[in-house]
Amino acid sequence: MSKGRLREHQAVACGLTELLGSEGWRVIHRDGKPELLDAFGKVRPLSVSHHSTSLGTTAAAGVWEAGERHHGIDLVDTQDVRIPRIASRFMSPVEQERWPEAKPWVWAAKETMFKGHGPNLDFRLELSMDSMDWVGDSGRLVGSVRGAIWRGELAHVPHSSLGLVWSSPSAM
């Protein structure tokens, strides 16, 4: 495993240990998706994301209750210069016109949708962003996956250019 991948795994492990309050867990994979096997042997939906720079690696993890499905989490560098260049690959023309300055947020929302509902989804045709409502440094999202309503939330990570988007089970 490369040093970069090792740092990503370590960041996720630290985040999960902090989130769960113990080290008595394991990450397993089923159908290409990670799941959490908690200290009590219960399998729970899990989504992870990480972002690395020369300064270090940041990780985010979302764990949902057993039985909840189709949730995801994603970190995005809101200053990533590559995102505007590839926007036409993941945003419809309507989305590009509606959110010209929010392309990183749309990217992260669609990544989050994909993590919960994928694989085999066309980002432009089967995933859509319908509303993005900000209050300060956070907000709520509404979109759709193959025509079904999807709800999420977003926030700026303090003191960084990172953004975080996650599925919102409480609002689904």
Within this chain, do residues 81 and 161 fall inside the same structural domain, yes or no? yes
CA–CA dist 106, 19 (Å, integer): 26
**Which range has the top average pLDDT, 10-14, 35-39, 44-48, 130-134?**
130-134
What confidence category does residue 113 fall into, taking pLDDT thresholds of 50, 70 and 90?
very high
Question: 166 pLDDT exceeds 70?
Answer: yes
Query: Of 2-6, 23-27, 28-32, 158-162, which range is least confident?
Result: 28-32
pLDDT tens for each residue of 46-73? 999 989 888 888 999 998 887 777 899 9
3-state SS record for 83-98:
HHHHHHHHCCHHHHHH
Can you state the percent helix, strand and coil of the chain, rounding each to 5? 30, 40, 30
Within this chain, do residues 91 and 157 fall inside the same structural domain, yes or no? yes
Within this chain, do residues 63 and 74 fall inside the same structural domain, yes or no? no
Mean pLDDT (the chain) is 91
First to last CA, the chain: 38
Question: 171 pLDDT exceeds 70?
Answer: no
**For residues 5-19, average pLDDT:** 89
Within this chain, do residues 63 and 75 fall inside the same structural domain, yes or no? no
Per-residue model confidence (pLDDT) at position 172:
41
- pTM of the predicted structure, to 2 decimals: 0.89
Within this chain, do residues 60 and 112 fall inside the same structural domain, yes or no? no
Within this chain, do residues 57 and 22 fall inside the same structural domain, yes or no? yes
Count of the separate structural domains present in the chain = 2
Within this chain, do residues 100 and 43 fall inside the same structural domain, yes or no? no
Question: 124 pLDDT exceeds 80?
Answer: yes
Let me know: does 65 contact 55? Beta carbons within 8 Å. Answer: no
Within this chain, do residues 44 and 80 fall inside the same structural domain, yes or no? no
Within this chain, do residues 75 and 159 fall inside the same structural domain, yes or no? yes
Within this chain, do residues 60 and 117 fall inside the same structural domain, yes or no? no
Per-residue model confidence (pLDDT) at position 170:
54
Token pair of 35 as six digits: 């799941």
- In this predicted model, which residue has the larger pLDDT, 111 or 70? 111
